[in-house]
Amino acid sequence: MISLSDWTLWEIEYEREGGSVDRPVTEELLAPGSSTDTKQAISKLRLLKAHGWPVPRGSLDIAAVSSGMYVLKCKPGFWRLYFSVIDPQRRILLLLAVAKKKWKRNPNDLAKASRRFDDYRGGRARACEVRLAD
């Protein structure tokens, strides 16, 4: 097996007026009331980072949702993490964290993740490296 430890996790970041910064994925994951399943989601992110891309078959539950966009299903928990792969830089860019409440995927989630990815590609947002505590 190839060691892919040089892959890194990044998340979308917006600079707001006055210099404040919004990191929506972190904010979504750390919202009040999400402690147990959040730990599970962070564990899945660690695995994603360790495996790199493409992820070995059967190791994580990942589905392609759009051209260049994927969703990591943090089962049996309720989190769904939308991301894109920036391969030349070996980055996994987190776009959206959703606490899923129904079985069916909400098309609004994909639209929101797509807008954030478009913001990143268009220079309206940037990326910030995610450091996962042990």
Instruction: Give the tens place of pLDDT for each residue, 67-85.
Output: 889 999 988 888 899 999 9
* Percentage with pLDDT > 70 across the chain: 91
Q: Is residue 2 part of a domain?
A: no
Instruction: Evaluate whether residue 32 is within a structural domain.
Output: yes
Is 82 within the bounds of a domain? yes
Distance (Å, whole) CA 133 – CA 121: 28
User: What is the per-residue pLDDT for 107?
Assistant: 84
How many domains would you assign to the chain?
1
pTM for the model stands at 0.89
134 belongs to a structural domain: no
> Per the domain annotation, does 1 fall within a domain?
no
For the chain, where are the E strands, in sequence order? 8-15, 21-22, 62-66, 69-73, 79-86, 91-99, 126-129
Residue 3 has pLDDT above 50, yes or no: no
Sort 83 into a burial class: Cβ within 10 Å, 0-12 / 13-18 / 19+: buried
Q: Report the first-to-last Cα separation within the chain, whole angstroms.
A: 23
CATH at 19: 3.30.2310.20
CA distances from 61 to 58, 90, 112, 131 (A): 7, 20, 21, 22
If we measure between CA atoms, which residue out of 81, 94, 5 comes closest to residue 49? 5
- Mean pLDDT, the chain, integer: 86
pLDDT digits (tens, 9 = 90+) for 25-71: 988 888 776 666 888 888 899 889 888 888 877 779 999 998 889 99
If one compares 28 and 121, the residue with the highest pLDDT of the two is 121
Range of the structural domain that residue 103 is part of: 8-129
